Amino acid sequence: MSPVSSAPHGAVTVITVDNPPVNALSQAVREGLATAVAEAETDAACKALVITCAGRTFIAGADIKEFGKPPMAPYLPDLVNRIEACEKPVIAAIHGTALGGGFEVAMGCHYRIAAKSAAVGLPEVNLGLLPGASGTQRLPRLTGVATALDMMLTGKPVKAPAALASGAIDEISAGEDLVADALEFAQECIERGPRRIRDLTVPETDAAVFDETRKKIAPRTRGLMSPEKIIRAVELVTELSFDAGCAAEREFFIECMASPQSAGLRHAFFAERAVNKVPGIGRETPVRELHSVAVIGAGTMGAGIAYNCLTSGMNVTLLDNSDEGLERGAGTIRKLYAGGVERGKISEADRDSGLARFATSQDYADIADVDIVIEAVFENMAIKKEVFAALDKALKPGAVLATNTSTLSIDEIASATGRPQDVIGLHFFSPAHIMRLLEIVRGADTSDEIIATSLALAKRLRKIGVVVGNCFGFVGNRMLYSYGRENQLLLLEGAAPEYIDKTLYDWGMAMGPNAVGDLAGLDVGYKIRQERTDLPDDPRFYRVADMLAAQGRFGQKTGKGMYIYADGSRKPTPDPEVQAMIEAESERLGIERREIDEQEIIERCIYGLVVEGARILEDGIAMRSSDIDVVWTNGYGFPRHRGGPMHYADSVGLDKVYERVCEFEERFGSTYWEPPALLKDLAESGGKFADT
């Protein structure tokens, strides 16, 4: 059965797309729409057409699952042109979100009416694309160049009232019944006749806007190709005819679609949705209601988590064992609210309601009734166990007991309680209210209900929750050890910190590893390493970081770390003293310093990640390779357009990656570079991590 149906309503034919979940423009939808429009056009009783959608949204775009496969007719640009060519007025009736190809279909229509709650947008840039069904040529004719550029370059949907103000839509449905309002609007449109966007004059445009936009977006579009294609396509609106502009857009679209960048971004899109699919957890799994939370530990992390919970509507108690700590934590929360209000992100009323739901305490008795506790105290097993034993005594049955540990064993922490089934790891990333990743660490006894509750909590906190297994460092920090290890070895072998940082930054990492170390605090890793008993017996292992930390050079917070920071500045400046220290240490350890090229830096750091990722898959710590990618793109600044370390390795070809890893094993030894069996097997069978 076609996902598109038609029904007459007096003189108006209502065409309904019904292709759950989001009415994506699959081949069947495109064919159904083309047929329905052609039939309505030849139906003498029909005077106008309304295109609407069943379910939760108007068409949310082209069917991304079809991308990368051979295209099938009818093609979307032809369909949009076909709709626009209709002799009878065509009206799009929009609810939910008309996105990408969906909004392009709506712009092929002669008029657009939207529900008050609807939004329209062209988010193709998030997939490494530009609108490919004439959106770059039609939207500027409707709204003017500046608004169109903004919509396409941010990819953010625009709510109906703003869309109306900019001209992107023509009407907002006043009532509850969108189709009824569209039918009424259709009567007006019959009077007016078709209004085709292709025939509209391009609004007066100051040519300077294009270069100004290029400059403005450069810092956030580093290394990406589709933003420039978007700007150029819109520039062509002012230079070429509509059809010539569409032809250029098509060329750009095909080029972007074939790029590894778009493949990486599309992978990231599906990977972020796949994380919610956890075997054994389904709709039937009970989810506990969470209204109140206690956060234990009022440091930067605890305060950030508390703020995150407050802005998601929960009642929050911050518990710490010192007045001073609580004062500082509460101050941080007030500051975060003030910053939100100043930047217009939070209303004063929301701030007041948030602060009214916030309390501090030093007494476990005060948190006896909370639904969930998130512990964020010092990263030390003995202290954590003490806290959990106290929580076990104080908290009501059924409370979720979560730890924000970034490395320690959930099972050992849970062993301090009599209810290990209620204990889980919720690993937030700093700054906790901004970073989107939440590692949900399941212990051996953690119940399905607690996992389902944690996934629901992640959504409520506007985060991406990834369920991972319990081992030292889980997925993210376990892999970080390998990445950081290679960085540290490269320092001793001859690469300067700023050279390594620039190389990896230029490759796409949000920051270089040495700048990150200084930002996070070199003392943090140092203390963790000192507690570990399972580290390799290698005097080079994290040697430079250990020496710096031992000298009190903790990074930005002490004004000195791997770099120097002048008077509170965050700008890293290379320090000749550090360089001299590294060189002396290389000599002491008998390491011959040499010229190291960029490719080696990239391959050792990134393949270091890939090798550990493969071991993590072998150990069952991650459920699928794409989960590892989500962790690294959302928590560690891995370039999203490269998809994540495992997708990146797949895109390079695992045979090539394996070959390099074997070479590294020969040069640098098996301790770090022995190829995991999974990598070897996949390389030999022509497989990919994505297939595992």
Q: Which residues bind ligand 3H9 (CB under 6 A)?
A: 21-22, 24, 57, 60-65, 76, 97, 99-101, 104, 123-124, 127, 129, 131-133, 135, 270, 273
CA distance 509 to 130: 23
**Which member of 84, 104, 272, 375 is catalytic?**
104
Structure tokens at 323: 């007045």
CB closer to ligand 3H9, 123 vs 643: 123
**Which member of 84, 124, 235, 603 is catalytic?**
124
Expressed in percent and rounded to 5, the helix, strand and coil fractions of the chain are 55, 10, 35
Nearest-10 crossing angle of helices 76-85, 27-42: 20
CB closer to ligand 3H9, 460 vs 502: 460
Structure tokens at 462: 């506007």
Q: Min. distance of Cβ 263 from ligand 3H9 in angstroms?
A: 14
Q: Are 162 and 120 in contact (CB under 8 A)?
A: no
Q: Min. distance of Cβ 91 from ligand 3H9 in angstroms?
A: 21
Q: Min. distance of Cβ 64 from ligand 3H9 in angstroms?
A: 4
Q: What is the DSSP letter of 558?
A: G
- Residue 348 annotated as catalytic: no
CB closer to ligand 3H9, 360 vs 626: 626
Which of 688, 657, 684, 686 has its CA nearest to residue 673?
657
- Residue 104 annotated as catalytic: yes
Pairing of strands 48-53, 111-114: unpaired
CB closer to ligand 3H9, 57 vs 213: 57
CA distance 199 to 201: 6
CB closer to ligand 3H9, 74 vs 194: 74
Q: Min. distance of Cβ 56 from ligand 3H9 in angstroms?
A: 7
| Per-residue CA distances from 665 to 487, 568, 652, 661 (Å) | 17, 42, 19, 6
Q: Min. distance of Cβ 612 from ligand 3H9 in angstroms?
A: 27
Rg over alpha carbons for the chain, rounded to the nearest Å, is: 28
Q: Min. distance of Cβ 104 from ligand 3H9 in angstroms?
A: 6
For residue 118, the surrounding DSSP H or E stretch is none
CB closer to ligand 3H9, 452 vs 522: 452
**Which is it for the CA torsion 647, 648, 649, 655, positive or negative?**
positive
CA distance 415 to 418: 7
For residue 643, how many other CB atoms are within 10 A of its CB? 27
Pairing of strands 119-121, 158-159: antiparallel
CB closer to ligand 3H9, 39 vs 66: 66
CB closer to ligand 3H9, 129 vs 678: 129
**Residues sharing a CB contact under 8 Å with residue 277, sequence separation 6 or more, in sequence order:** none
What is the SS3 assignment for 7-20? EEECCEEEEEECCC
Q: Are 497 and 547 in contact (CB under 8 A)?
A: no
Q: Min. distance of Cβ 324 from ligand 3H9 in angstroms?
A: 42
**Residues sharing a CB contact under 8 Å with residue 69, sequence separation 6 or more, in sequence order:** none
Nearest-10 crossing angle of helices 497-507, 598-618: 70
Q: Min. distance of Cβ 492 from ligand 3H9 in angstroms?
A: 45
Positions marked catalytic = 104, 124
